[in-house]
Structure formats: C-alpha cells, structure tokens
Amino acid sequence: MNAITQDVSASTHPGSRLASLNQWVAEVAALTRPDRVHWCDGSDAENAELVRQMEADGTMVKLNEQTHPGSWLHRSDPDDVARVEHLTFVCTSEREDAGPNNHWMAPAEAHAKMDALFDGCMQGRTLYVVPYCMGPIDSPLSRCGVEITDSPYVVANMRIMTRMGAPALARIEREGERGGAFVKGLHSIGELDPDRRFIMHFPEELAIKSYGSGYGGNALLGKKCHALRIASHQARSEGWLAEHMLILGLQDPQGETHYIAAAFPSACGKTNLAMLIPPEGYLKDGWKISTIGDDICWMRPGKDGRLYAINPEAGFFGVAPGTSAKSNPNALASIRRNTIFTNVGVTGDNQPWWEGLGEGEPAIDWRGEPYDADKRPAAHPNARFTVSAKQCPSWSPEAENPEGVPISAIVFGGRRASLVPLVFEARDWTHGVLVGAAMGSETTAAATGAVGVMRRDPMAMKPFCGYNFADYFNHWLSFDNGGNKLPKIFHVNWFRKGDDGKFLWPGFGDNLRVLEWMIQRVKGTVGAKETPVGLLPDPADLDLDGVELDQEARAKLFGFDREGWQAEFEGIGEYLDGFGPRMPQALKDEQQRIAARLDQGA
C-alpha cells in the first residue's frame, strides 16, 4: 500500500481540484498498482514525449517524413483488430433494461469479474488520467469523461478524437463542484489475451470498464462506449438522442445549407458520405458539402422544435481500405500529415498503403511481414487512420457551434445486395422510426466474426445502444409530440448488386444526386410514388446526368419488389416480436399495416 501512495503522490500533476476525481484515481491506482501516474494536459510537449516513448519501444513506427510528416504506424496485436461484440456487456440492475439486443451481466458480478482482472494489471506501467470533453468545450450539449488507461497509444488517439486535457479537466471540475457527474472509464490493455477481454458498461453509474484490448471502439472509451452506449442511456432520461450518425451540411446553388444526419452501420459509408465531393456538374452549379461529423451525432429539440445536432468527436477514426483520391479525396488530403495509421501496410519507402489506395506498391503487410498477396492483404480490412477533423478540407466551422446545427433530414441505410432500392422516404415520423428499427445490413470487418451476413441493425445501433431496443424505439417515437418540427426520414442503399455481383450504383460522389432529391422532398418541390414500404422517386426526378445505368440497374435501384418485401416484412414482424411486451404498440401496428397492404396488393 505504501509504495502505491508514494507513487500516486509522485505523479507529474498535483491531481485535480475535484476530490471525487482524485479519490477515484487513487482507488484505481491502489487496485492496478502502476509504477507512475500521469495526469494528461493534452499539450504538444506531452504528446511528443509519449510518441518518443512509443517509437523507442516499437509501439509506433515512424512513416516517411517527406510524404507523411508527423505520421505513425501502429501494428496492433493480430488478435486485436476490431470491436468484440460478443465480449461487450451492458450491466444494468434489471436484465430487461439492457434488452435482448445486449449481452447482460449483473453489475455486482461484472464489477467483481473486472476488478479481478484489473488487480495489479498496471505493474511496471504508467497509469494515464485522460480528461476529455465530448462536443465543443463550451456547448451545453457536450458531456465529459475521464479515461484511465495504461496505453499511451490510447492517450495519443484520445487526444485526436476528443477535446482532451486541461480545458476538459477545467469543465469537469466546474461541473463537479456544482454536483455534476462525469463518465468514469477504466481501461487496461491487460495481456491482450482474447480470453481475458471484456468491455463492460454500467450506464446507471456512468461507468465503463474495458480490459484486454487496445483497439478502436474497445479502448478509446470516449467513442462507442461513452458517446453511444452510456450517452444513449443518459439521453433517454434527459430527452435527447445519441446516434451512430454522420452529420453533413449540403449547400445548394442558392447558398442555403441543409443539414443531414445519416446512420449507416460500421464500415457502410458514413465517413465517405460526410466528406463527399460533388460530381462535376454539381460543382459547376455551386453545390458544396461540409463535414460536421462522420460517426456520432447527439441531437435534441431546440426552442423552435427542430432537432439540433452536435458531433461529440474532434477527429476521425476512419476505415483505410478503399480510401483513395478517387473515392474520398477529402479523407486522403486529411491524412497526409499528423496521422496515426493502425494496421495498414507500408511501401518500400515507408509510406502507408492499403487495398484500394490506387497508387504505390506494398512491401510490408500489417503484421510487419514481407507482403505476399497469397498470404494476406497488405492492410487489415479494418485498418484505420486517426486524424484531427480540423485537417479535413471540408471541415465545417459549424462543428464548433455550441448550439449545434438544425437537421432537415435523417437518413438510414444498410448494405443490402438485394431487395432494397436506392432510396425511399418514410410517410411520417412513426413510419420513419419503423424504417430505422427494421434496418438490415450485411456484416463488415469492423467487428470480429463472419463478414457479409445479413443481420438486423436498427438505426445502425445494434452494437451501440446502451439499453433495451424496445425502450429505444419508444424514445424515438416520443419526439413526435405535436410541438416538434421533425426532419423527414429516408432510407438509402448504396450497395445493391446486379446479377453479376457488382454494385449497380456508382456511389461516393454520385450519392449527392440522391441527397438533392431528399432536399427537394423536404422543400416539397418534387413528387414521389406511393408504395406500401414508402415513397419512391420517379427516376426522372433525379439528376442522373453522366451516370450510366442499364435496364437491370434502373429496375433494381428504383423498383418495388412486392414479393420480396412481403418476406422482408414477415422477418421484421418476427424481429419486433422478439422484444416481447415492451415493444411499442405503435410500431407493431405500423408494421402490421404495411404487411397487410403488401398482402392486399394495395
């Protein structure tokens, strides 16, 4: 005990004004027994020192300074490359409150299990105290947390992904002195043993305990753990929404900006849509996209009844493979400097490389071995870049607006090779909530497990909702209270395939054509075709100038396949029933109304 007390008092920072924070750090230090405690201030000097240490011990490898100044490669443990949904738990006192959509463990049992893992786990290591703010530091919509971690890689990433350090600590102290709470996140990489790995959430205590992984959403606790699982739970009781959505601003040729929030599952196109560069003709006409966020959106009704959204993050943790000068030039421009790359390959002259980059040749793969196309791809399919949002050419100053931006349209979308058309519109809010609740998507490499399996992923929140989906849908429905001026809701599918297995829609920049149609619908300047599943565009109302679509593509992208939808709605009905009596009747009624219309041929 003595040695620990000394170690804590020998920390490089006097600690905090906030007794509750000091006490928690002391308790964690007593349990984990680190050699040193370091309170992060987020300064450049601190970061430089961390990076120096990581370079010395091989945690980070310097990349080509000429082509990629200030950039680093981190190779994670080969068994630690994605979120682990099967090891992620929501620990509410009542099992039903976590719902069938989450793995559940009783809080006392989970704490005991985790504390046994954390016991002495930081011996020989430094314990970093990382205060952070999710959202603009002066925004009433923002929320703060402190992550304790023994991973300098996590510290360096949190510094990019959040407002981390002294200003966040000052806000935590200010709020704490008035009785406000912050989210307590405890993280250790442990032994990186997949059999000793758990990501536990205690939403009722605003606490997270994560052990045994150093990767992305498992370890950067501000991101999925806090900003989605804990925040969604908190948002329910406080009357707002924490969503897995990008936020973009779409400026039309008249100079008006419309804000759109879109929920697509992991690795299904949020970052790409958020940074879209308009196709040639649109550019000439003066269309412009600005980026507010690429992954997470917190929104709440403003005084005027519209939904106002902030991006709680300050950086991008983006999928590298497939990112090219052609598919996403803004992302590529963003990651030319000051970027941390995780699990990419490198070229002979030490530049980062991944499949789909479209230039250069890989020499070394993500595991650090000579590249061999027969053995494995150069980059892991879930290889990522971490970069400050400020480096993105399309970054919007509105991302710093403490009031947030007003949302005109909410878009849901999944990866669906068949059935689902390019775009359709929900008739009203309740139908829109059903469209979100019924979302399906083929799984991707962002989580461990099989890829390409169709699963229900309501609102792209399957892995991230911190409470029972039935209660979540009810919470969504509650926004339609007569007073709010709610956005229109749409559904898109960029991933429809033809009989040859190829994508039918060009996607990327051309997705703007679909966004334009949405804005016209919001303004009421264009009609749509009524079907049981929603309002479909007349293809003539989309600007398809320069897009080559053959007969099959047109039929599948804009068509309505009654029989296919009948089967789909049967599946949706079964899915909703799986939640039992908590499922809101209004949603079941909506599902049944549509199913009946499909059967009647109406």
Ligand X SMILES: O=C([O-])CC(=O)C(=O)O
List of residues contacting Mn ion (CB under 5 A): 266, 295
268 belongs to the binding site for ligand GTP (CB under 6 A): yes
Task: Please state the closest distance from residue 457 (CB atom) to ligand GTP, in A.
Answer: 12
C-alpha dihedral sign at 405, 411, 414, 415: negative
Question: Tokens representing 600?
Answer: 């009647």
Site for ligand GTP in 278-297 (CB under 6 A): 294-295
How many Å apart are CA 559 and CA 538, to the nearest integer?
Answer: 10
- The phi, psi pair for 436, rounded to 5°, reads -65, -45
Query: Which CB atom, from 31 or from 219, has the smaller least distance to ligand X?
Result: 219
Residue with tokens 């008092």: 9
What is the spatial distance between Cα 446 and Cα 424, in angstroms, rounded to a whole number?
Answer: 27
CB burial class (10 A; 0-12, 13-18, 19+) of residue 380?
A: buried
* Rounded least distance, CB 478 to ligand GTP, Å: 26
- CA of 460: how far to CAs of 90, 476, 483, in Å? 17, 14, 27
Residue 216 touches which member of Mn ion, ligand X, ligand GTP, none, C-beta under 5-8 Å by kind: ligand X
Residue 224, contacted partner among Mn ion, ligand GTP, ligand X, none, CB below 5-8 A by kind: ligand X
Residue 324 known to bind ligand: no
Concerning whether 268 is annotated as a catalytic residue, the answer is yes
Q: Is 446 in the site for ligand GTP (CB under 6 A)?
A: yes
**What distance in Å separates the CA atoms of residue 261 and residue 489, rounded to the nearest whole number?**
10
- 289 alpha carbon, distance to own chain's centre: 20
Distances 450 to 10, 410, 424 between C-alpha atoms, Å:
47, 29, 29
**Does the annotation flag 217 for ligand binding?**
yes
Of 150 and 295, which has the nearer Cβ to ligand GTP? 295
What helix, strand, coil percent values describe the chain, rounded to 5?
Answer: 35, 20, 45
Nearest residue to ligand GTP, scored by beta-carbon proximity: 507
Q: Is 343 annotated as a binding residue?
A: no
Q: Applying CB under 6 A, does 222 fall inside the site for ligand GTP? A: no
Q: CA 163 to CA 161: how far, in whole Å?
A: 7
How far apart are alpha carbons 318 and 55 in whole angstroms? 23
Which among 367, 368, 349, 346 is positioned nearest to 357, based on CA atoms? Answer: 346
Q: Nearer to Mn ion by C-beta: 230 or 553?
A: 230
* Cα gap 527→394, rounded to integer Å: 31
441 binds ligand GTP (CB under 6 A): no
For ligand X, the closer CB: 318 or 362: 318
Which one of residues 22, 327, 388, 401 is an interface residue with ligand GTP (CB under 6 A)? 327
Q: Does 490 bind ligand GTP (CB under 6 A)?
A: no
Residue 163 CA to residue 42 CA, distance in Å, equals: 9
Asked if residue 338 belongs to a known ligand binding site, the reply is: no
Footprint of ligand X (CB under 6 A): 83, 216-217, 223-224, 266, 295, 317, 446
Q: Which is nearer to ligand X, 201 or 224 (CB)?
A: 224
| Distance (Å, whole) CA 230 – CA 235 | 9
Choice among 40, 144, 268, 392 that is catalytic: 268
**Partner in contact with 503, chosen from Mn ion, ligand X, ligand GTP, none, beta carbon below 5 to 8 Å by kind:** ligand GTP
Q: Per CB under 6 A, which of residues 89..128 are in contact with ligand GTP? A: none
Among 42, 190, 203, 322, binds ligand GTP (CB under 6 A): 322
Q: Choose between 54 and 219: whose C-beta lies nearer to ligand GTP.
A: 219
- In the structure encoding, which two tokens stand for residue 399, read together? 């991302």
Among 84, 169, 231, 267, binds ligand GTP (CB under 6 A): 267
Counting DSSP H helices and E strands in the chain, the numbers are: 18, 30
Residue with tokens 């009989």: 499
Maximum pairwise Cα distance, the chain: 77
70 is in an annotated binding site: no
Q: Which is nearer to ligand GTP, 46 or 442 (CB)?
A: 442
Cα–Cα distance list, 499 to 418, 455, 485, 496, 504 (Å): 10, 22, 42, 10, 10
216 marked among binding-site residues: yes
Q: Which is nearer to ligand GTP, 100 or 507 (CB)?
A: 507
508 is a contact residue toward ligand GTP (CB under 6 A) = yes
463 binds ligand GTP (CB under 6 A): no
**Distances, alpha carbon 34 to alpha carbons 7, 112, 208, in Å:** 8, 20, 19
The answer to whether the annotation marks 267 as part of a ligand binding site is yes
Which amino acid appears at position 586 of this protein? A
The reply on whether position 457 binds ligand GTP by CB under 6 A is no
The residue written with tokens 């510094």 in the block is 159
| Alpha-carbon distances of 322 from 93, 384, 391, rounded to whole Å | 42, 11, 20
- Closest distance of CB 149 from ligand X, Å: 15
Answer yes or no whether residue 449 interacts with ligand GTP by CB under 6 A.
Answer: no
- CA 437 – CA 101 distance, rounded (Å): 12
Give SS3 for 587.
helix
Q: Minimum Å distance from CB 246 to ligand GTP?
A: 7
Backbone phi, psi, residue 251, to 5° = -95, 125
Q: Which of 494, 565, 569, 579 binds ligand GTP (CB under 6 A)?
A: 494
| Rg of the Cα atoms in the chain | 24
Q: Among Mn ion, ligand X, ligand GTP, none, what binds residue 321 when CB lies within 5 to 8 Å by partner kind?
A: ligand GTP
Cβ–Cβ under 8 Å, residues 492 and 268: no
CB of 496 to ligand GTP, least distance (A): 9
330 annotated ligand binder: no
Structural tokens at position 281: 């003709």
507 binds, among ligand X, Mn ion, ligand GTP, none (CB under 5 to 8 A by kind): ligand GTP
Q: Is 153 part of any known ligand binding site?
A: no
Task: Select 214 or 421, whichever has its Cβ closest to ligand X.
Answer: 214
Q: Which of 278, 301, 318, 534 binds ligand GTP (CB under 6 A)?
A: 318
Q: Is 271 annotated for ligand binding?
A: yes
Q: Amino acid identity of 30?
A: A
**Binding-site annotation, residues for substrate:** 83, 215-217, 266, 382-384
**Binding-site annotation, residues for GTP:** 267-272, 384, 415, 508-511
Task: Point out which residues bind ligand GTP (CB under 6 A).
Answer: 264, 266-272, 294-295, 318-319, 321-322, 327, 446, 494-495, 503, 507-508, 511
Q: Which residues are catalytic?
A: 268
**Binding-site annotation, residues for Mn(2+):** 224, 244, 295
**Binding-site annotation, residues:** 83, 215-217, 224, 244, 266-272, 295, 382-384, 415, 508-511
